[in-house]
Amino acid sequence: MNTRISIDNLIAIVKSGGRVKTGIDVYNGKGVLLLARDIVVEKTRVLEIIKAKGIKSVLVNTALNGGLWDSDGHLIKVSSDGIVDYSNPSTDDEIIASQRVKQAFGDTAAKQIENRLKEIEEIRQQANQKYAEAKQSVKKVLADIKNTGGQFDYEEVESNVSELVDFLSGGDNPFSYLTHEIFSYDDYLYNHSVNVCAIGTAVADRFNSNFSKIVDDLINGTSSGINDPFEKDKPEPIQSFTCFYPEDLYDISLGFFLHDIGKVLVPDAVLNKKGSLTEEEFEEVRKHSYEYGVQILEKNKLKNSVIKNIVHYHHAPLFEGEGRCYPLDKNQTQVPLYVRICKLADIYDAMTSKRCYKEAYNPINVVTQLFRTYAKKDRMLQYILHAFVKSIGIYPPGSIVYLRNGQLAYVLESDGPLLLPFTDEKENTLRRQPDPFRANSPELEDAKTIDSRRSVKAPRDVNSLLPSYIRQIAVKSA
């Protein structure tokens, strides 16, 4: 349920020791994110900044875990017109309130963390199951193609993928809760197909809403600030623009899922060769997209141009002169947006997955590299990469990261990310449970930031170091 609350009321609540969480993202008129939906606002600064941007009120959605809490941690009731019964506290009151908050939340912090660990585990178990099903589906498709010389049951794949897309589009991307390392030791092609589908779908979804918002604001003339609904004589905003229609999104996801389908026709001896490939062998590998992939689609009489474009062009250049790309028959500006998303998801997955010949790269380094290579080349690529960062959750909840001082920390939320350290700097398990903190906090000392040179771990990789309260919950499915 959405309720519009004035910024002044929110500032008063936070000033007196309370907390605010909007439950939905707050953007300015240019589509720049001012406040993420999951951030618990405990300091007035961010609200003051939003106010300074000319925004007088924001929506709080209680159905999406948004809410307002007083200094005792009690939910503040808000009437449907957004009036909060809260008087301005004096300075003494503020001090008392902040002490009460510390006591109240100090007592419940351990409980909150335990609940969060359980929540992560539940999502992860569900995601693992869905992931296994999707992997089975791709395994069957590829086996069918191999056995029949090119035929597969398209309708079955279509229904499996639409089920997968429904599962993935329920807000957070549940697959972002699975660390790449845990499923990347074997069956690379199967995992890769599911990963590119999951990552690409989340990115396309986010790109769709972000980009549509920018265009809508331009059409509505609201690009310099959010419309104040209480302002009279303003026409209702027109929600007119959708970059990808929902039915297109299904086809796009299906294309992501099938993008490497042509690899089945590349001889195993070439695909699994340990040493370096000859030029002819490279040519065989390249053919998986523009030749074998397209052949398989034609053999199955699939004329859907979205799927065909993805299979055909997912290794095409995205900017003039980009090396090691194929085929080269399309100018980079003619490569459709969804194919560009596929290519970036493909690179991201290949680099963040562990293979027999390489460690998984740390996701933040991979994203940084993607930004360096592509963001400046073209505005659309920049938008896609922003959607990438916003949607995939660089550090998956439930994964383990190293801090620069050598401590290990468990990721509670990917936004921030919110970290719970559990060892000291020499990797001895901490006896007491410390407070979680956000790694992007501006006051954070350098030593406490995430060490991006070291790869992200799954809990089972550091099983012996986990304190019992994490191990009991977190290593079951990891």
CA distances in angstroms from 406 to 251, 422, 426, listed in the order given: 45, 11, 7
Of 53, 37, 45, 36, the C-alpha closest to 14 is 45
Structure tokens at 239: 């929600």
Of 312, 319, 324, 343, the C-alpha closest to 283 is 324
Give me the 250-279 binding string for Fe ion, x by CB under 5 A, dash otherwise.
Answer: ----------x-------------------
Q: Among residues 38 and 260, whose Cβ is nearest to Fe ion?
A: 260
In whole angstroms, how close is the CB of 145 to Fe ion at the nearest point?
15
For residue 100, the number of C-alpha atoms closer than 13 Å in the C-beta half-sphere is 16
172 binds Fe ion (CB under 5 A): no
Q: Among residues 119 and 291, whose Cβ is nearest to Fe ion?
A: 291
Q: Among residues 6 and 201, whose Cβ is nearest to Fe ion?
A: 201
Q: Render the burial of 361-383: b for 16+ CB within 10 Å, e for the rest.
A: bbbbebbeebbebbeebbebbeb
Q: Among residues 284 and 346, whose Cβ is nearest to Fe ion?
A: 346
Give me the 9-48 binding string for Fe ion, x by CB under 5 A, dash otherwise.
Answer: ----------------------------------------
89, 346, 399, 407: which one contacts Fe ion (CB under 5 A)? 346
Of 114, 120, 116, 73, the C-alpha closest to 97 is 73
User: Rounded to whole angstroms, how far apart are CA atoms 430 and 228?
Assistant: 49
User: Rounded to whole angstroms, how far apart are CA atoms 167 and 248?
Assistant: 17
Q: Among residues 152 and 290, whose Cβ is nearest to Fe ion?
A: 290
Torsion of CA 289, 294, 295, 301, to 10 degrees: 150
Of 331, 184, 161, 191, the C-alpha closest to 253 is 161
In whole angstroms, how close is the CB of 347 to Fe ion at the nearest point?
9
Type of residue at 2: N
In whole angstroms, how close is the CB of 192 to Fe ion at the nearest point?
6
Torsion of CA 340, 344, 345, 350, to 10 degrees: 140
Q: Among residues 118 and 358, whose Cβ is nearest to Fe ion?
A: 358
Q: Among residues 216 and 260, whose Cβ is nearest to Fe ion?
A: 260
Binding segment for Fe ion (CB under 5 A), chosen from 54-62, 74-82, 342-350, 414-422, is 342-350
Binding segment for Fe ion (CB under 5 A), chosen from 29-37, 109-117, 265-273, 339-347, is 339-347
In whole angstroms, how close is the CB of 87 to Fe ion at the nearest point?
60
In whole angstroms, how close is the CB of 346 to Fe ion at the nearest point?
4
In whole angstroms, how close is the CB of 275 to Fe ion at the nearest point?
21
Binding segment for Fe ion (CB under 5 A), chosen from 157-165, 176-184, 340-348, 405-413, is 340-348
CA distances in angstroms from 180 to 159, 169, 306, 416, listed in the order given: 25, 20, 27, 20
Q: Among residues 167 and 256, whose Cβ is nearest to Fe ion?
A: 256
Count interface residues toward Fe ion (CB under 5 A). Answer: 2
What are the backbone dihedrals phi and psi of residue 66, each rounded to the nearest 5 degrees, phi first?
A: -80, 165
In whole angstroms, how close is the CB of 349 to Fe ion at the nearest point?
7
Binding segment for Fe ion (CB under 5 A), chosen from 305-313, 328-336, 343-351, 457-465, is 343-351
Q: Among residues 205 and 346, whose Cβ is nearest to Fe ion?
A: 346
Strands (E), 328-383: none
In whole angstroms, how close is the CB of 286 to Fe ion at the nearest point?
9
User: Rounded to whole angstroms, how far apart are CA atoms 380 and 128?
Assistant: 33
User: Residue 355: helix, strand or coil by DSSP?
Assistant: strand
In whole angstroms, how close is the CB of 335 to Fe ion at the nearest point?
14
Binding segment for Fe ion (CB under 5 A), chosen from 48-56, 101-109, 338-346, 404-412, is 338-346
Residues 319, 378 contacting (CB under 8 angstroms): yes
Interacting residues toward Fe ion by CB under 5 A: 260, 346
